[in-house]
Chains A and B, each alone.
Chain A
Amino acid sequence: MTAPLLETRALCRSFGALTAARDIDFSLEAGARHALIGPNGAGKTTFVNLLTGVIPPSSGAILMKGRDITRVDQARRVKLGIARTFQINRLFRRLSVLENVYIAVAERVGAAPSMLRPAGARRDVVDEAMQVLETLKLTADAGRRISELPYGRQRLVELAIALGLKPEILLLDEPAAGVPSAESHIILDAIDGLPRDIGVLIIDHDMDLVFRFAQRITVLVGGAVFATGTPREIGADPNVRAVYLGRAGHG
């Protein structure tokens, strides 16, 4: 058996007396649709920050395809193929949708340090950014500023920036958060349409979304893995229902 796409071994992180991640053993397979759920304060965001290298773990290891990347910094992990979206939009608000994606693509193909050529002269980067927008049906908005877009569309740009990085691993932090239900189908369709070979980890509260997409679910409680299984197993697990679904099941 080959090594998983992304794996953590006994991953721990404490902030002073608070242990936000406790001995997390986790693995994400290539092409997986995996969901990470858990009540507020369960350590979901800490886990994402550990995976992306925003914060270092207190102990334990992170491996990508069997290679130890625990000490690899954030920028280099992006180059290795780990991309994320944010729970709250973090976009370049005064730039156009196309420019937002351009920045990501330029960074990936190594065009960004170039100082003496105009940005528009990198046709390859412009072209690729437009293609990403096309896959998300965003081309009609390509010239608009982020601040002029409805919130649901902005969430799509979050996704577009991440896709511009051509990730092998995509971490979606509450992709539909804050989107009015009338628009949320746009996001769901977009997630449906993600390339099959990308390993996707969805962090969410939204049970409809989680049960629609996930093939596997990991439940995080108090910084530790509480249960892992298929949606059916998790849905039927009385302990999970007790600590999580029962309390916060209808959001």
Chain B
Amino acid sequence: MTPPAVAWIDHPAAVALAGRHRVRAWEAIPWLLALAFYFAFPKYLGFGTELLITILFALSLDLVLGYAGIVTLGQAAFFGAGAYTVGMLAKRGIWNEPITGLILAAAVAAAIGLGSGLVLLRTGGLTLLMLTLCTMALLEEAANLAHDYTGGFDGLDSLPIAPLLGRFEFNPLYPTTQYLYVLAVLFVCFVFVRTLVYSPFGQSLTGIRENTLRMHAVGAPVRRRLVLAYALSAAIAGVAGGIWAQANAYVNLGTLGLDRAATVLIILVLGGYGRLYGAFVGAVAYMALAHFLSKIYPTAWQLGLGLLLVVIALFARNGILGLTEAAARRLRAPRAIS
């Protein structure tokens, strides 16, 4: 076998495809900001930890919603599964080492994602949306009823989480360990998701999102790919939930609720889905807005958020990142026309 005489590697389109996964210089910004936050706002590390966990959770949703095009309202099912895995194991004194705890949380969430995905992903559209919601509601009710194990409505508190690496205590008042731990886990998960979306597998997921029928026609095992993506996303959501339980030493029914699932969807739409960094931008924007709006107007701050969402849905379908991309294109356009 001799290689073909013509190589296309020099063609601009081929170059773009071959190099699109390269790390750009600006991609360091969010991580530098996160580190700067640690030193600049030591009093707000609790807020910062919550923010980073929200980003991780939104990232898990971006994989299924933004890349594979699976519209789900039940992502919190996996967040809660991860949180309760960590919570129940720690409370009963079975397992409280944090890092392996997260791996267990990921495994449990992935198993639930795999099982439910095999059934749910036979459907699509509105049916799928309702079924994801139902799965989450079932889990929530199960957690509520299994009072002896889950603490029911009250949840499980004062979880005895072991020190990180046997050394660094999780102190709820000075969450320095939590912040850096969550940042490191977010980084690892982000690298994984980023690798995934730029791989041939990720490319085939976008293919399914763009045109499922055509993917069938090129011989792709569409459902298998979707179920796999769903389970991987569930694992990451499980990590987010598990780390939330560890950081707060606490787990309750709220981790499984519609509130959390809807919020993360809002965050992703706000930031821009299918863009990796939409999770970052959306989470920061949402939490900053929620913070300030609730200060200005404590009783009805969600009204402001709702109005903003209406505006986004009407005029900026691709979220904040979509707006910046459009602006950047417009700035470059005059040169490109000639």
- Residues of chain A having any CB pair with chain B under 8 Å: 52, 54, 74-79, 83-84, 86, 90-99, 102-104, 106-108, 111-123, 125-127, 130-131, 134, 139, 142-143, 161, 164-165
Contact between A92 and B13 (Cβ–Cβ < 8 Å)? no
Contact between A76 and B17 (Cβ–Cβ < 8 Å)? no
Contact between B203 and A102 (Cβ–Cβ < 8 Å)? yes
Instruction: Among B4, B20, B200, point to the contact of A112 (Cβ < 8 A).
Output: B200
Contact between B217 and A86 (Cβ–Cβ < 8 Å)? yes
Chain A residues with CB under 8 A of B217: 52, 74, 78, 83-84, 86, 90
Chain A residues with CB under 8 A of B16: 96, 143
Contact between A120 and B18 (Cβ–Cβ < 8 Å)? yes
Contact between A112 and B18 (Cβ–Cβ < 8 Å)? no
CA distance A112 to B214 in the complex (A): 15
The 7 A-B pairs at the shortest CB distance, nearest first, are namely: A78-B219, A130-B8, A143-B13, A120-B18, A142-B13, A92-B210, A118-B21
The contact sample of 26 A-B pairs, CB cut-off 8 A, is A78-B218, A84-B217, A86-B214, A92-B207, A93-B210, A95-B206, A98-B17, A102-B203, A103-B218, A107-B219, A112-B203, A115-B202, A118-B195, A119-B17, A119-B21, A119-B202, A119-B203, A122-B200, A123-B18, A125-B200, A126-B9, A126-B18, A127-B7, A130-B11, A131-B4, A139-B11
With both chains docked as a complex, state the minimum distance between the C-beta of A154 and any C-beta of chain B, in angstroms.
Answer: 12
Chain A residues with CB under 8 A of B6: 131, 134
Which DSSP category, helix, strand, loop or mixed, fits chain B's interface?
helix
A54, A114, A115, A117, most chain B CB atoms within 10 A? A115
Interface size class of B (residues with CB under 8 A): 35 or more
Interface members, chain B 1-39 (any A CB < 8 Å)? 4, 6-9, 11-14, 16-21
Contact between A113 and B201 (Cβ–Cβ < 8 Å)? yes
Contact between A96 and B213 (Cβ–Cβ < 8 Å)? no
CA distance A104 to B216 in the complex (A): 10
Contact between A111 and B200 (Cβ–Cβ < 8 Å)? yes
Is B221 an interface residue when CB atoms closer than 8 A count as contact? yes
Instruction: Among B4, B21, B215, B220, point to the contact of A120 (Cβ < 8 A).
Output: B21
Contact between B9 and A119 (Cβ–Cβ < 8 Å)? no
Contact between A115 and B17 (Cβ–Cβ < 8 Å)? no
With both chains docked as a complex, state the minimum distance between the C-beta of A231 and any C-beta of chain B, in angstroms.
Answer: 29
Contact between A91 and B199 (Cβ–Cβ < 8 Å)? no
Contact between A117 and B219 (Cβ–Cβ < 8 Å)? no
Is B204 an interface residue when CB atoms closer than 8 A count as contact? yes
With both chains docked as a complex, state the minimum distance between the C-beta of B224 and any C-beta of chain A, in angstroms.
Answer: 9
Instruction: Among A91, A99, A111, A112, point to the contact of B17 (Cβ < 8 A).
Output: A99
- Residues of chain B having any CB pair with chain A under 8 Å: 4, 6-9, 11-14, 16-21, 195-196, 198-204, 206-207, 210-211, 213-221, 225
CA distance A114 to B201 in the complex (A): 5
Instruction: Among B17, B199, B211, point to the contact of A126 (Cβ < 8 A).
Output: B17
**A165 and B200 in contact (CB under 8 A), knowing A120-B21, A126-B9, A131-B6?**
no
Instruction: Among A98, A103, A127, point to the contact of B207 (Cβ < 8 A).
Output: A103
Chain B residues with CB under 8 A of A120: 17-21, 198
B195: nearest chain-A partner, CB-CB: A116
B8, B12, B14, B219, most chain A CB atoms within 10 A? B219
A97, A120, A164, most chain B CB atoms within 10 A? A120
Contact between A107 and B20 (Cβ–Cβ < 8 Å)? no
Contact between B214 and A113 (Cβ–Cβ < 8 Å)? no
With both chains docked as a complex, state the minimum distance between the C-beta of B182 and any C-beta of chain A, in angstroms.
Answer: 24
Contact between A127 and B210 (Cβ–Cβ < 8 Å)? no
CA distance A84 to B219 in the complex (A): 11
Instruction: Among B12, B196, B211, B218, point to the contact of A143 (Cβ < 8 A).
Output: B12
**A106 and B203 in contact (CB under 8 A), knowing A119-B21, A131-B8, A139-B11?**
yes
